Each structure stands twice: as C-alpha cells, then as structure tokens.
Amino acid sequence: MNSFIFCSPTKIIFGENTAITIGDEVKLFGGTNALIIYGGGSVVRSGLLKTVTDSLSSAGIKHTCVGGVQPNPLSEFAQEVVDNYKNDGIDFVLAVGGGSAIDTAKAIALALVVPDVPVWDIMCMKVDLPHPLPVGVVVTIAAAGSESSNSLVLTNQALGVKRGLRSEESRPVFAIMDPTLTYSTPPEHTVAGTVDIFMHILDRYFAPDTDNDVTDGIAESLMRVVIKHSKTIIDKPDDYKARSEIFWAGTLAHNGIAGLGQPLDFTIHALGLPFSAKYDAIHGLTLSATWPAWAEYVYKHDVARFAKYARNVWDIDEKGDEAAAKAGIKATVDFFRSIGSPVTIIEAVGRDVSDDMDELIDLVTQKGARVVGAFKTLSNEDIRKILLAAM
C-alpha cells in the first residue's frame, strides 16, 4: 500500500430533521456571530432558512443572511459579501444549499480573515492562505461533496475563468445532511449531481501508481452504489433510501478517502470546467460530455486499469483486457445516457464550440501554467484532439 496522510475532521450530522440542531453546533464550534450564505429562494420557500435562523436565535447566536449565490458561483459575489461585512465581527460562516453556496462560504471564510486581499488573489494563490473562519453547512443537494472536502471552485465572471483551490483548513467543521432536503432538487441538477459524484471517484481511480487494494475497493463500491440508486432518485425523487445512499456516497466521493495513496488526476474536471466558466453550462453535465472522448483517447496507456474498472464496477466478463476495457467505457457512456446526461459537448453546451478551441485549451491549462493529467499527461495537442472528439 502506498503512503498517505488523511484527515477528515468534518462532523457529520446525518438524518431527517437534523437542521434544528444547527444552533447548538455553531455554538459548539465557537460561533457567536454567523454569516449565512445561500443561493436562490428555494431555501426560503421551503422554510429551511427559517428553521436555521430560529435554531440560531434559540442558541443566542447573532446572524445575518445573504442570498444570491449562482449555480456557477462567482468570485465577484464573494468579494461583494466580504466588502459589505468585513467590519461586522463575523466569526462563523454558514452555508445553506449545495456546492455553490458551500464553496462561496469557504472563500468568504478565507477572505474575511484578510479582507484587504482580493478574493481572486486568494483563489489564485497569490498570497499565503490564511487560517479561515470556521464554516458549517446545511447541505441541500447531493453533488459536489464540498461539505467535507478540502476544495472550492469559483468563477471570475470578468475574466471568464474558473479556478479551484485546495486547502485542508477549508474543510467545514460540521455538515448537516438531511436526505429529505434533496427531494426538491430539479431533475437536471439531480442528474448533474449524480455525474459529479461519479466523476469525483473516477478522477481519483484513474491515476498512476495505484497499488492500494483498500482504496480501490472503496472507490469501486461507491461507484456501484451510485449506479444502483441513480435511476431511482430521478424517477422517485422522494425515495429516502435511494436519496440517502447517493447523498452519503457524494460525501465519501470527495472527502479524499476514495483516492488515498495515489496521485490526484482530475483531468475530466480540468477539461469540463472551461465550459461552465465560458458558457455557464451545468458543471456535472460537462463532465459526462468530456469523459467518453478522454477514455477512448487514453485507455491504451493502461489497458489493465480500465479492464479492472470494467470488471469490478460493471461486472464485465470479457476475458481479454482490451475487450473488457472497451466494454467498460461503453457501459459508462450508456449509464450517462440512461440517466439523461449528455455525452457530447454540443449536447452539454447547446452548440458547436470548435471556433473557441484555442481559448478553451488556454482555460484548461491556465495558459500553460499547469500540467493536465496524472494518469496520462496531456499536451495541448492531446487536449485539442480530445475536445474535438467530444464535440
């Protein structure tokens, strides 16, 4: 087994009606003046925001609510919040919503500690990362896994650039996870969230130096769970069993446990992010749109790995590795199609973007500032061929 360091300090409060405990949890982690970050009006209409604020009031915790987080969260919004509340003595940031609200809360928690540093400079690692304010979350969508991950992603709307940041100190101190809160997730976002969960596992599974049987077993099991329950949550949104399984799988898919002991790859996220940054496409849908072309392009780099994936996740019984690998790729594409997720860029974005290819490659590589691919390192020409094949 390869060496690793793993710490996942987020306290998980899982189950129905757990949001009523949030005041006690914030107090437990030292919060006295909380800034609540949320997206649209669904948390207001559902009564969830009132449940949260009532619990905070009962615990004697001062709080301020700020809504307006967009599905592809913006650094400009986070910057505005920091500018407005940097002098208000905020000592706790609370996200109510999905990954967009959580990532925004994480950025704000970092920036409020150094309010004179632009949020985007923090996202671009132009400064040493400060120790952030504590973040707590009430999760309403099974997707990003940001409720216990060390990562956050924001888009700079002015630049048309989406940037991710990893910081172990940015893991939330607690996450309240009530599967019933995911019942109202719109169908398209349920699909996108399912793909995002699946890809968080795949982007860890296809990596070099994979000599960890336990890690592989965890990853393969999580993928089988997502496959098993994904159609149910689409057809029966209020199925508690299926929703809870997908919800918990989403957390474990991105807290690090599914990739311990092997390098992170995240090529598909790198290939997909420019499409949500430039065209405001739904994040998860850009991943299923780019994975098939990537897989076809790179599988011969390690046919045995793809064959193992096919056999252990999809029960492919082909004896030859080449045949098994190709069958596993086909099974994955068929799975995406079966839940209504796009498998081409045109389907995900709504148009042919071939004319923008040079700009898209620059966005993928951050203008040459980063190497893309650990399973197989991709040159600019490799990226061009993959994206054109994905069109």
Q: Concatenated DSSP letters for 275-319?
A: HHHHH---HHHHHHHHHHHHHHHHGGGGHHHHHHHHHHHH----S
Q: What is the pLDDT of residue 41?
A: 83
Q: Which helix (H) or strand (E) is 164 found in, with range?
A: strand 161-166
CATH architecture of 187-390: Up-down Bundle (1.20)
Give the model's pLDDT for residue 291: 98
Q: Which helix (H) or strand (E) holds 97?
A: strand 92-97
Query: Residue 211: its pLDDT value, please?
Result: 85
Instruction: Give the residue extent of every domain in the chain.
Output: 11-182, 187-390
Tell me the per-residue pLDDT of 105-156, one tens digit each, with 9 for 90 and over. 999 999 999 999 999 999 999 999 999 999 999 999 999 999 999 999 999 9
Q: How many CB atoms within 10 Å of residue 381?
A: 9
- Is the pTM above the cut of 0.85? yes
Contact 383, 357 (CB under 8 A): no
Give the separation between CA 313 and CA 295, rounded to whole angstroms. Answer: 16
SS3 content of the chain, % helix, strand, coil (to 5): 55, 10, 35
From the CA atom positions of the chain, what is the Rg in Å?
A: 20
CATH number of the structural domain 11-182: 3.40.50.1970
**Cα torsion through 280, 286, 289, 292, rounded to 10:** 150
What three-state secondary structure class fits 165?
Answer: strand
Q: CA–CA separation, 365 vs 350, rounded Å? A: 23
The amino acid at 214: V
Predicted confidence at residue 143, as pLDDT, reads: 92
- Identify how many contiguous H helices and E strands the chain contains and give both numbers: 16, 8
Please give the DSSP secondary-structure letter assigned to residue 373. -
Q: What are phi and psi of 355, to 5 degrees?
A: -70, -20
Please name every residue paired with 139 in a beta bridge, in sequence order, or none if there are none. 97, 177
pLDDT less than 50: residues of the chain: none
In b/e form, how buried is each residue of 213-224, taking b as 16+ CB within 10 angstroms? eebbebbbbbbe
Rounded-to-integer distance, Cα 352 and Cα 27, Å: 51
Phi, psi dihedrals of residue 134, rounded to the nearest 5°: -65, 145
User: Which pair of structure tokens corresponds to residue 60?
Assistant: 């004697």
Q: Which of 278, 277, 272 is nearest to 342 (CA)?
A: 272
Please report the pLDDT score of residue 2 as a whole number: 86
